[in-house]
Amino acid sequence: MPRSRLRDIQSESDFRNLPINKVGVKNISYPVVVLDKTEGEQHTVARVNMYVDLPHHFRGTHMSRFVEILNRYRNGISTSKIREILSEMKQELSAERAHFEIEFPYFITKKAPVSGEEAKMEYTCRLIGDSSVEYYTLGVTVPVLSLCPCSKEISDFGAHNQRSLITITIKAKERIWIEDVVSVAEQSASSDIFSILKREDEKFITEKSYNNPMFVEDMVRSAAEKLMHIKGVLAFSVESENMESIHNHSAYAMIERDGQIGAFEK
């Protein structure tokens, strides 16, 4: 039977008078291309969520259209493309509001501090767009090293340290590079970490972190100070979770700032 003659049940009327805030597709695994500050672009695999609102008089939305729209952008997704995607979602699904989010692993080549050995470091990133606001949201989770100032101060030798996760979430209208967000997080810790280390690198990082002890509170404050001076950042949050090596729990801290353009400039 031709498609035009098939019954369109989704577009039929619903009489319960209950609009739906978000309806769509969730957790699509999809290959995408994202912008890379150094190499121009990077191929990765994302988890994608796409939603629209649904007026009370429609029974359902057309789920296949979400994937059709996504497929048009498989050769490149950037912050600028998110606005286009949201616009197409609204138009093709007859919606007043559209929401789009992707989460993906992002890789940056890092050199070990002494040996210079190169390897890829993985960072978890999120891009979120909502047609009801003018900004987009970028989130980046960065693994780092923290060393406890109290432990160093009270011990005759040594100090406990742990791997930590700093998560920075930014609202912006213009492009903020993932690499720049990673740099803010790594500079706010006792030390950044690497995929590959030789003995001379391990010695360097051990001594670097010992000379740069950081509480979880220190790390979020340090990152917040840096974010307040990045042009284009409208609002942000910084979270740090330190997976304690001497406790069976994590230490946690968070700072968030919201404001208009220029609100963070002194």
> Would you state the CATH architecture of domain 12-104?
Roll (3.10)
Distances (CA, A) of 67 to 7, 12, 64, 173: 21, 22, 6, 26
**112-266: CATH class:** alpha beta
The two tokens of residue 131 are: 């047609």
How do the domains of the chain map onto residue ranges? 12-104, 112-266
Domains 12-104 and 112-266 share a fold: yes
- What is the reported pTM? 0.88
pLDDT in tens, the chain (266 residues): 455 676 555 665 556 668 888 999 999 998 888 889 998 889 999 999 999 998 766 665 678 889 999 888 877 777 778 889 999 999 988 889 999 999 999 999 999 999 999 999 999 999 999 999 999 999 999 999 999 999 989 998 888 999 999 999 999 998 899 999 999 999 999 999 999 999 999 999 999 999 999 999 999 999 999 999 999 999 999 999 998 888 889 899 999 998 654 445 44
| pLDDT of 82 | 86
pLDDT for 58 equals 64
